[in-house]
Amino acid sequence: MKEIRVDVLVIGAGAAGMAASIESASRGCHTVLLEREDCSGGVLNQCIHNGFGLHVFKEELTGPEYADRFRRQMDEKGVQVRTVQFVVSIDPSKKAVITMSQEGAVVFHPKRVIMTTGARERAFGSLMIPGTRPSGIFTAGVAQRFVNLQNRLPGKKIFLLGSGDIGLIMARRLALEGADVLGVAELMPFPGGLARNIAQCLNDFDIPLHLSTSVVEVHGKDRLEAITIARFDPKTRTAIDGSHKKIEVDTLILSVGLIPQNELIDSFVQIHPTTKGVVVDSMMRTSHPWIFAAGNNVAIYDLVDFVTLDGKTAGQNASRFEETFPSDTLPIVLGKSVGVSIPNKIVKQGDPFILYLRSKKVIEKGIVEIGPGLIRRTRIGIKPSEMIDIPFTQKDLERLRESNLDRVYIDIQEGS
Amino acid sequence: MEKQNMICVSCPLGCDLEVEIRGEEIEVKGYRCKRGETYARNEILDPRRMVTSNVRVSNGDCPLVSVKTIAPLPKGLMGELIEALKQIRLEPPVQIGQVIIRNFQNTGIDIVATRAVGLDSSDQKHEPEHELKKVSEG
């Protein structure tokens, strides 16, 4: 069995992993980036639509172009990319990462590990929808892979459940490829994806969006033949009697959420009980000092640019071996309007960072209050589908250090 | 006077725009950057969209190459472009930025590749990218 010593081992070559490995390698660390697929880039490779890079490159790129920019930087900085290699297990006591590749088992002994394993899609099985179990039901990401990488159309008469961004983008993609996209159902009273994707993916193609609606039964023996949808009461979240409607379709595509992928470390690293993401501080450190994390395994982001920025932070901090790390952190406590924050803790003596928040509800005009009394920001048009980014500057950190707060409370108040 | 509400698609922020049309005059409210104002005006006078799709590649390491319009295309030409792209078969190698269709329908808009596709080398495709040098034997 082969054993390899490295400075920094990055697991998962998506947007976060590529950014993290570039930062680590450019600080002179021997950096290895592991990827189970046969090329780096992660989901960017199949996201052929544009809209990536506005924050990082100040221009709008497609997913493959965005990935290519990082691939070039990885070559330049000397990141060693090892593809078709997956991690079997991680042993925190021996600080060993056991992997399998075509040359057999390889054990890495890294000084630091950065977890950039991303998320997986919530599958049909977890939705508990009654009916038969025919073929023709796909998650949006799988359908996207078929259409954009393998040249396969999943079906002709298609309905989508869930209005997440990948789902909306797939609705447009399938409509452009000539499929009959009959509609999108969303259980919540508001869409899950970005407003611009409702406009350019659904409205442009006259695809109806049914809010407060879900699929209550699937029909078909071998192949999906029809689905039954019903309107839901937003308060009780139960189907409204008499609102049931059967629609003939051959394909159902699900865009019903992503789940952070943390099976490799969840037995010894603190995981957030509700989001299932890794708990990180503002230096992207996990609860285990050997392990850093960034990307969708920390929390589900809506922009790849933000993933890149947090990946960079993880790479920068993971490559600081000689320094003693500041250990004093303050936990972030969320008020009832905030569902998610990245990070979960603030390093008092750390560097400035960007705080990302996800609101639980639509707020026309709201004030984000951090502290209390530390930062107040008015934001217009707050939506659960769009993360709020608030820079936490050096000045804010200084004020935090001067305050006697033992935790940082964050909430969004309606009004101005 | 006519009022229209629209969502700016220029970037992921997706500003809610309110457009008032008074004859020749178009007034836009609700934008957070200049692109929003331009978008709303164009949406009334000449709606355009960026189009991304795929073109088939024979004997490549991927059966498709992703493509995009280098600028937003008049909305009415979208379907025609998709049809035109379906007729094309490329041979590898394809480079990022390579022009696939020049000046589509005299719009001045080129369609370019957004990924690279190399020659199919399936016999050695799954070799790891690194060299098989052993660092230490355990």
Hey, where are the domains in chain B? Answer: 2-45, 52-113
| Nearest by CB: B49 against A51, A61, A204 | A204
Predicted model pTM? 0.92
In a mutagenesis test of the B interface, which of A44, A46, A50 is the best target, namely the one with the most B β-carbons within 10 Å? A50
- What is the pLDDT, as a whole number, of residue B130? 46
Per CATH, the homologous superfamily of domain B52-113 is CPE0013-like (3.10.530.10)
CA distances, A308 to each of A12, A233, A298, B12, B60 (Å) = 13, 39, 13, 16, 30
Q: Judge contact between A9 and A17, C-beta under 8 A.
A: no
Q: Do A386 and B135 touch (CB under 8 A)?
A: no
User: Taking 50 as the threshold, does the pLDDT of residue B136 lie above it?
Assistant: no
**Number of Cβ atoms within 10 Å of the Cβ of B1:** 8
Contacts of A107 in chain B (CB under 8 A): 138
Q: Are strands B48-49 and A80-82 parallel, antiparallel or unpaired?
A: unpaired
B123: burial class by Cβ within 10 Å (0-12, 13-18, 19+)? Answer: exposed
| Chain B residues with a Cβ under 8 Å from any Cβ in chain A | 6-16, 49-50, 52-54, 56, 62-64, 66, 68, 75, 78, 82, 96, 114-116, 125-130, 132, 134-138
Contacts of A84 in chain B (CB under 8 A): 126, 128
Q: Judge contact between B118 and B98, C-beta under 8 A.
A: no
What is the chain A residue with the closest CA to B49?
Answer: A200
- What is the pLDDT, as a whole number, of residue B133? 43
Gap from A380 CA to chain B (nearest CA, Å): 10
Question: Rounded CA gap, A302 and A390, in Å?
Answer: 15
> What is the mean pLDDT of the segment spanning B94-98?
97
A49 touches chain B (CB under 8 A): yes
How would residue B123 be classed by pLDDT, with cut points 50, 70 and 90?
low
Q: Do A48 and B50 touch (CB under 8 A)?
A: no
Q: Do B12 and A62 touch (CB under 8 A)?
A: no
> What is the mean pLDDT of the segment spanning B80-86?
96
Q: What is the pLDDT along chain A (416 residues), one digit of tens a residue?
A: 899 999 999 999 999 999 999 999 999 999 999 999 999 999 999 999 998 998 999 999 999 999 999 999 999 999 999 999 999 999 999 999 999 999 999 999 999 999 999 999 999 999 999 999 999 999 999 999 999 999 999 999 999 999 988 899 999 999 999 999 999 999 999 888 888 899 999 999 999 999 999 999 999 999 999 999 999 998 888 999 999 999 999 999 999 999 999 999 999 999 999 999 999 999 999 999 999 999 999 999 989 999 999 999 999 999 998 778 888 999 999 999 999 999 999 999 999 999 999 999 889 899 999 989 999 999 988 888 889 999 999 999 999 999 989 999 999 999 86
Q: Are strands B52-57 and B64-69 parallel, antiparallel or unpaired?
A: antiparallel
**How does pLDDT run across B33-66, given as a tens digit for each residue?**
899 999 999 999 999 999 999 999 999 999 999 9
Rg (CA), chain B: 22
Question: Rounded CA gap, B116 and B105, in Å?
Answer: 25
DSSP string, A288-352: STTEEE-STTTS--S-HHHHHHHHHHHHHHHT--SSPPP--EEEEEE-TTEEEEESSEEETTS--
Gap from A51 CA to chain B (nearest CA, Å): 7
Question: Rounded CA gap, A137 and A151, in Å?
Answer: 18
In a mutagenesis test of the A interface, which of B82, B112, B115 is the best target, namely the one with the most A β-carbons within 10 Å? B115
| Nearest by CB: A83 against B6, B49, B129 | B129
Gap from A21 CA to chain B (nearest CA, Å): 16
Q: Do B125 and A3 touch (CB under 8 A)?
A: no
Question: Rounded CA gap, A338 and A275, in Å?
Answer: 12
Q: Cα-flanking dihedrals φ and ψ of residue A90, to 5°?
A: -125, 125
